[in-house]
Structure 1
């Protein structure tokens, strides 16, 4: 692999035909996932790195070398950028064998050394013994491995993966994801993964960048983004539930508490001094932080942010139950959580039944008020 002394630095701007407003960095050995809805600009960002799309403004630097700088009128063509790119459809040459496809990307090496190096790369992706098969004789997962080996054959300074697992079945996708997780440990280059599958990004990425309409809304570790989205817009794009609005009432720094006025209730949340008293805010609580009060068996822990509710829906999902509650939110928001099905039945949960839940203080996350509609 290339000795990438520095990682990837990316700043992209454009108004049309595809809007872009994105700035991110990816360190050597790091896997950064670009996530977001279709049309968010994820693949366009990858194409800008590869030199297949030219933004209006910005900068692309990798391994200490400038590939694109709009201000300096620098724009290296794709063949002069040390990029390994795996397309969604793999784009293998149908008339060539697996060995031939990989060897075709080794033009920068002496001819006599190409076949041996191609075999090494196919072995790296677990395809030893299949060197003489053509793409039509390989499964979808095997074709994907050939595409990865061919991308690595260029000795790239960055590896770009554009929805690489979308064309295979679920079982094969899981296996390939596991193989990529193992393969990346031997790579000391930045890796950009474009995916619409949030579970895939969470499983593979060191960090995620959430994109929407060409903008990078938040870049963080998967756990941080899911627990502490930067805004309600980010939370909605991630399909996070239990989003509400409230007003900051006061802070108690000594107790590590911020008090929120939510309708007629006052909730305790983790201390968030950046929000001034009187400010309207968005807030969320993850389903895992919603605790059902046990019927007839109250505990001291249930004093924490108790909320009366009525069951709107209870959906059995194997051993668990997905519960939706009406909590009389002024904006019509509902509260959702899950619990073991036997616990739901033991506590008499059913549509129309009253219950009480607690919202765990430390898991209530406060965000600036979103200007977009609910």
Structure 2
């Protein structure tokens, strides 16, 4: 098991993290300034923590109490930076073997051949970085990180500088390399789809602190904190009180004055508790006209609403609804956001209708963070911004 526990006070933030991981890929996800790249620098030995402990593959790299701090070159960590950091005056081959000083030349050449084959760099060995495409430079940087046979691979937004088609292809190639080498990896990314594709677990950071770490589906569907929900695109966030009736539990939202059925199995609620909940926009269904009676008895909430705005993203559409009996007027008043694929948008004939019945399954309504007791006298949670903001 690998361990990263570190505390570092910096002028604009404090890095305070503690997590463990195995033979897996962890994606560090969060906004700019959250501390993702600083975490990689601390693991690699480029930033010394004030305290903590870093153990990789059974080797103690840093321990503040024992005054252990191995230098970067002694840590056997492969590190691919966002700009690749290739040496412009060296050839591809010279860049790749740069970290193998001290090994016999025969061993260096054998490892070079292995990396050239693994990352499909045949015929490029004599070129300079300026003669390579962005994708080729990325593969050279990855080869240089892997040739030392590291115990851990660090990737700091390795695809950020590439165009969309190249990014998609190199993600697939990285997945292939990961399966072949079974190498623990920590990936920094701003791209949620990339984190979901490449990582077994996602660690969400904000202001130097770990908000949540878990499987991608768990982080997306069950965010542990309000900022996790916001960072991962859960734009329908409501504040309200929990209430129980003969049909089960529901939350009565303050903003939209609407009831949302809550999951019953495996949950413990308290009547009157003030809480926040979220519904992801892609988990809301538009019900065809006349189908409402056939949905009777389902464990879901049915709402009536009118589309007041929509955005066409090409492959998907964002629909912004004002709900009936929800209060508020004007086209700028939005209660709910729904996301549909372009195919669903066409099949439903959304362009021809403005008024719809919306269905939200109870298992798709998630309570965020700790609830607030009904007689709580402290300050209420801050008002939530419009979902258009």
TM-score of the aligned structures, taking structure 2 as reference length: 0.86
Cα distance in 2 between the residues matched to 1:160 and 1:330: 50
Q: Deviations over 1:146-167 (max 9, x none)?
A: 1111111112110001111111
Match of 1:230, SS? Answer: coil
2:349 — aligned with what?
345
* Cα distance in 2 between the residues matched to 1:79 and 1:330: 63
Tell me: CA distance 1:108–1:228, structure 2 relative to 1, closer, same or farther (3 Å): farther
Deviations 1:167-206 (A, max 9, x none): 1111111111110000001223310001111111111111
Equivalence for 2:150: 156
Cα distance 1:215–1:140, how it changes in 2: closer, same or farther (>3 A)?
Answer: same
**Partner of residue 356, structure 1:** 357
Query: In structure 2, what is the equivalent of residue 182 of structure 1?
Result: 176
Equivalent-residue separation in structure 1 for 2:326 and 2:370 (angstroms): 16
The one of 272, 283, 289 equivalent to 2:277 is: 283
Corresponding residue for residue 310 of structure 1: 306
> 2: CA distance between counterparts of 1:127 and 1:368?
48
8 Å CA contact 1:231–1:367 kept in 2: the answer is: yes
Partner of 2:203 in structure 1? 209
- Quickly say closer, same or farther: Cα 1:314–1:101, change in 2 above 3 A: closer
Superposition deviation, residue 48 in structure 1: 0.3
- Match for residue 292 of structure 1 among 286, 297, 311: 286
Distance in 2 separating the partners of 1:186 and 1:198? 24
Distance 2:122 2:43 in 1: 31
Equivalent residue, structure 2, for 1:26: 21
The residue that corresponds to 1:4 in the other structure is none
Deviation at residue 132 of structure 1 after TM alignment: 1.3
My pick for the range that moved more, 311-320 or 282-291, is: 311-320
Aligned residue for 1:62?
A: 56
Shift of 1:320: 5.2
Tell me, yes or no, if the aligned pair for 2:321 and 2:334 is still in contact at 8 Å: no
Structure 2: segments with no counterpart, 5+ residues: 372-380, 385-389
Gaps of 5+ in 1: 1-6
CA distance in 2, matches of 1:43, 1:346: 43
Deviation sequence 1:322-360 (CA, Å, 0-9, x none)? 31111365797621113433355368423xxx4331211
Per-residue CA distance 1:52-101 (angstroms, 9 max, x = gap): 00111211111111111112211111111111111111111212111111
Deviations 1:297-342 (A, max 9, x none): 4332166312222221133454754311113657976211134333
How many residues are paired up?
361
In the alignment, is residue 49 of structure 1 matched against residue 16 of structure 2?
A: no
Distance in 2 of aligned mates of 1:177 and 1:37: 21
- Between the aligned partners of 1:43 and 1:144, the Cα distance in structure 2 is 18
Tell me the distance in 2 between the aligned counterparts of 1:224 and 1:177: 22
Between the aligned partners of 1:67 and 1:20, the Cα distance in structure 2 is 18
The verdict on how the C-alpha distance between 1:338 and 1:80 changes in structure 2, with shifts beyond 3 A counting, is: closer
* Local SS of the residue matching 1:270: coil
Contact 2:320 2:334 in 1 (8 A): no
Tell whether 2:322 aligns with 1:326: yes
Equivalent in the alignment of 1:335: 336
Q: How far off its partner does 1:213 sit?
A: 0.6
